[in-house]
Amino acid sequence: MSEIASKVTRLLEAIETADDAASLEQYRLGALGRKGLVTLALKSLGGIPAEERREIGQTINQHKAALQAALEQKHAVLHAQERDAQMAHEALDVSLPAQSTPMGMLHPISQIIDEVSAIFATMGFAIAEGPDIESDALNFTALNFPHDHPAREMHDTFYMANSPEDQLMVLRTHTSPVQVRALRAEGAPIRVIAPGRTYRSDHDMTHSPMFHQIEGLVIDEETHFAHLKGCLSDFCRAFFELNDVPLRFRPSFFPFTEPSAEVDIGCSHDRGCLIIGARADWMEILGCGMVHPNVIKSGGLDPERYQGFAFGLGIERLAMLKYGMPDLRLFFDGDPHWTRHYGFAPLEFPTLSRGLRP
C-alpha cells in the first residue's frame, strides 16, 4: 500500500505543478482514467482478503478524493489564467471617443405653444386654426375695422397679388380672424386658443415681418370682464410659475373688443437682466377685451344673448420674457446652433404636473 501512497504523492505534486490544461488532463487520466492508478487499485481490491479489504478500500477512496480535489482546484486556477490571457488579448482603448446618439432640440416657439396650451387645457380650451392667407373681409371687416380707419392702417398689411376679383386677400395681420372662423364653425359656448403665424410689413431691430400670436376666445352667456381679468391673471401666474405676478389692466383700443385693455406685467431691469414679478417697472405683454357685439354678429351669433372675451399673446415676446433670448430677428434665422442654445429637449414635454420650465 505504501507503494500507492508514494505514487499518489508524486501525482499530487505533478498536478500542483502542471502548467497547462493538456498536462492536467494527462494526470487526471493517470489517476482516475480507465487505467489510472485509483481505478486499477480499486479493481485489485477483489483479490484482497475480506478483513483487509475494508481498510484498504477506505484508504484508496481517500486518495481518490484528494486527487479529485487537487485536479479541480488546479483546473480552476488554469482556467482563470487562460481567461486572464484572453481578456488581455481583447484589450480595447476606451479613451477613444464614444459616438453619442444625437438628440435635436425644439424651437422656443414650439415650447411656448405647448406651455400655453397646457395651461389653457386646465380651463377647458380647445385649439383652433386658420390659414395664413386670409380675406381682407375676415382679417378686418368682420372684426369691426372701419374702412380707411387709422386702426386698419396701423396694421401694415401685406396684400396678395392676384387676389380673386370679389375679395382682396391679405397675409393675416393677427390671429383674430380665427375668432370669427371658430364662432362660425362651432357656435357657442366656446373656449378656444389659436396659435399661428402672423405678418406685418415691418422689419427692424424689434419687428419681424413674420411673427407668432396666440389668440384666445371665450363666448357664452355669462362671461364678463371680471372673468377676463381672472383668466389672464391665472394664466400669467401659471406661465411665469410665480404666485405673485403684478398685473395692470389698462384701457386701450382694439376695433374688435370693447371694453379693451392692454395688460402690463410688473418687472425690473437689474444690470441688463429682466426680472419678472418685481414692482419697479411695467412691461406690456398682451392685448385683450370683451368681444365687440359686431364681431359676435360676424360669427353668426346674437350679441344680446352671447358675450365673452378675447385676447392676443405675442409668442416671441413670451419666450423672450421667460427665457431671455435677446434678439427677435434670430428666431427666424433658421440657425440650428441658435436652436441648440435656446431650444428645448424633446423629452421635456411641458405639463403642469412636471412643471412647464425644463
Partner 1 sequence: MKFPLSWLHDHLDSDADLTTLCDTLTMVGLEVEAVDDPHKKLAPFVVAEVVAYSKHPDANCLSVCQVSLGSGDPIQVICGAPNAHQGMKSVFVAPGNVVPSTGILLKSSKIRGLKSNGMLCSERELQLSDEHDGIIDLPADAPGGMAFVDYRGLHDPVIEVALTPNRGDCASMRGIARDLAAAGIGTLKPLLIPEIAASFSSSQCWAIAQGAEEHCSQVGGRAFSIDGNPAAPDWMQQRLLAIGLRPISALVDITNYITHDIGRPLHVFDADKLHGDTLTMRFANKGENLLCLNGNSYNLTPDDLVIADGEGTVSLAGIIGGGNSSCDANTRRVFLEAASFNASTVARTGRRLGIDSDARFRFERKVDLNSIDEGIRYASHLIIECCGGTASELVWAGSSPAPVTAIPLRIARFAQIAGITLSSAQIIEILQHLGCTVVAESDAQLSVTPPSSRPDITLEVCMIEEVLRIYGYDNVPATSLPAPEDRAKRTVNPAQRRIGLIRRRLAQAGLDEVINLSFVDEGVAKMLSEHPVPRISNPINAEMTHLRPTPLAGLLQSAAQSYDRRRAALAMFQIGPGWIRSAKADRQSLYAAGLRLGVVAHWQNAHQGGNDPYAVKADCLVVLELCGIEQPQLRRKVPKHYHPYRSGGLFLGKKPLAYFGNLHPEITESFGFKLPNGTRIAMFEILLDNLPPAKVKFATKPALEQFALQPVTRDLSFALPLDFAAGELIRTIRAVDKKLISDVALFDVYSDDTVRAVAYRVTIQPHHETLTEADLGALCQKIVTQVEKKSPATLR
Contacting partner 1 within 112-141 (CB under 8 A): 114, 117, 120-121, 123-127, 129, 131-133
SS3 321: helix
Q: Say whether the peptide bond before residue 259 is cis (omega within 30 degrees of 0).
A: yes
- Closer by beta carbon to partner 1, 49 or else 334: 334
Instruction: Choose between 272 and 334: whose C-beta lies nearer to partner 1.
Output: 334
User: 296: which 3 cell numbers?
Assistant: 359676435
Omega before 195 cis (within 30°)?
A: no
Contact 173/155 with Cβ under 8 angstroms?
yes
Provide the pairing of β-strand 190-199 with 126-127: parallel
281 binds partner 1 (CB under 8 A): no
- Subset of 312-341 contacting partner 1 (CB under 8 A): 331-340
Q: How many alpha carbons fall within 13 Å on the CB side of residue 223? A: 22
The amino acid present at 102, given as its one-letter code, is P
Shortest Å, Cβ 314 to partner 1: 15
Give the one residue of 97, 166, 206, 272 binding partner 1; rule: CB under 8 A: 97
Note whether 187 binds partner 1 by CB under 8 A. no
Q: Dihedral sign, CA of 143, 148, 149, 151?
A: positive
177 lines the binding site for partner 1 (CB under 8 A) = no
Binding letters toward partner 1, positions 23-52, x by CB under 8 A? ------------------------------
**Residue 357 Cβ vs partner 1, minimum distance, rounded to whole Å:** 18
Quick check: 91 binds partner 1 (CB under 8 A)?
no
Query: With respect to partner 1, which residue has the nearer C-beta, 56 or 349?
Result: 349
- Residue 246 engages partner 1 in binding (rule: CB under 8 A): no
- Residue whose C-alpha cell is 482546484: 73
75 touches partner 1 by CB under 8 A: no
Question: Quick check: 249 binds partner 1 (CB under 8 A)?
Answer: yes
Work out how close the CB of 102 gets to partner 1 at its nearest, in angstroms, rounded to a whole number. Answer: 4
What is the secondary structure of 179-198 as a DSSP string? HHHHHHHH-SSEEEEEEEEE
Pick the binder of partner 1 from 250, 269, 279, 354 (CB under 8 A).
250
Which of residues 50 and 161 has its CB atom nearest to partner 1 in the complex?
A: 161
Q: Which among 72, 58, 75, 74 has a CA at the least distance from the CA of 4?
A: 58
Helix (H, G, I), strand (E, B) or coil at 174: coil
Min dist CB 96 to partner 1, Å, is 6
Which of 71, 194 has the CB closer to partner 1?
194
- Asked if 141 contacts 176 with a C-beta cutoff of 8 angstroms, the reply is no
10 binds partner 1 (CB under 8 A): no
The DSSP result for 55-98, as a single string, is HHHHHHHHHHHHHHHHHHHHHHHHHHHHHHHHHHHT---TTSPP
Q: What is residue 170's DSSP assignment? A: E
Tell the smallest beta-carbon distance from residue 149 to partner 1 (Å). 7
**296 vs 321, which CB is nearer to partner 1?**
296
Residue among 91, 92, 94, 96 that touches partner 1 (CB under 8 A): 96
Q: Residue 334 in 3-state DSSP? A: coil
20 makes contact with partner 1 (CB under 8 A): no
Please tell me the distance from the alpha carbon of residue 102 to that of residue 116, in angstroms, as a whole number. Answer: 28
Q: Which is nearer to partner 1, 18 or 295 (CB)?
A: 295
Q: Does 343 bind partner 1 (CB under 8 A)?
A: yes
Distance CA 72, CA 78 (A): 10
3-class secondary-structure state, position 163: coil
Nearest approach, Cβ of residue 197 and partner 1 (Å): 6
Footprint of partner 1 on 190-229 (CB under 8 A): 191, 197, 199, 201, 203, 208-210, 218, 223-227, 229
